[in-house]
Amino acid sequence: MQKRTYTIKGTSPFFFNPFAIESLVLTTVASKGSAGNNPGEWEESLKSVEDGNLYIPSSYVRGTLINGGAYIKKKMSSYKKPIESCIQIAGSVIKVGNKTVPTDMLTDPKKYYNTHKNDAYIDIRAVSNPNTKGKNIRYRLALSPGWEMTFSVAWQDDVVSPEVMDQAVYFAGIYEGIGNGRRIGMGRFEVVKNDQQSEAKHSLAQHS
């Protein structure tokens, strides 16, 4: 078993993925707006605790590293399935280490509508609805570029070498990203540190 800890830094904004338990049950829940235009949507994605720090599910990291493996060729296939078969991310949540939500965002959210220079803001934009062929307005909690996360990965090194795992993290940051809005380039990142930094630089030099 191989273990490694990575610190990543956002090169594009991070969009939180709105998720509420109401989406799993067959009940009607009152919103703060109309269908397809709910200004309170962003509040559902606020993973905050008393210290004001933000967190994301560790499954987000697992998914993007698996997808990063798709860019590493292995004979007639790639390393996506081998990584998926053996990767583990420590903990159920991962802290966003250097960004916090302003204390007045809940009471005065309009103050933070599309204020991209803030550490945290509410991104508002129209998106296509594949069911209606029309447009919905999305209100998503977002972090400006420069957000950081540190996470620990464990995997079977007889299936995936440390060099391949470093490359998977590298490619995930460039091509996949993490969080919501990845199809429009959000959540991209670079690796700024790992506990075997010299090995990471050596393995990634092949792709620079």
Q: Among candidates 5, 93, 110, which has minimal Cα distance to 49?
A: 93
What three-state secondary structure class fits 37? strand
pLDDT of residue 30: 44
> Which pLDDT belongs to residue 18?
64
Please tell me which of 33-37, 112-116, 184-188 the model is most confident about, judged by mean pLDDT: 184-188
Least confident of 35-44, 72-81, 107-116: 35-44
* pLDDT score, position 99: 81
Tokens of 124: 């508002």
Beta strands in 129-204 (DSSP E): 135-143, 148-155, 189-194
Segment (H or E) for 167 = helix 162-171
Residue 190 pLDDT > 90: yes
Please check the confidence at residue 87 and state whether its pLDDT lies above 50.
yes
Domains of the chain, with CATH numbers? Answer: 2-18+36-201 (3.30.70)
Q: Kindly state the tokens that stand for 2.
A: 């191989």
Query: Which pLDDT does position 200 carry in this prediction?
Result: 44
**Residue type, position 109, single letter:** P
Longest distance between any two alpha carbons in the chain, whole Å: 55
For residues 17 and 181, what is the distance between their CA atoms, to the nearest angstrom?
8
pLDDT digits (tens, 9 = 90+) for 142-153: 999 999 999 999
Mean pLDDT, residues 169-181: 96
- pLDDT surpassing 90 at residue 3: yes
Confirm if 142 and 13 have CB atoms less than 8 A apart.
Answer: yes
92-105 pLDDT tens trace = 989 887 888 888 88
Q: Where in 1-145 does DSSP place strands (E)?
A: 2-10, 14-15, 53-57, 73-74, 77-78, 88-89, 93-100, 120-128, 135-143
- What pLDDT does 170 receive? 97
Q: Dig out the tokens for 142 from the structure.
A: 């977002």
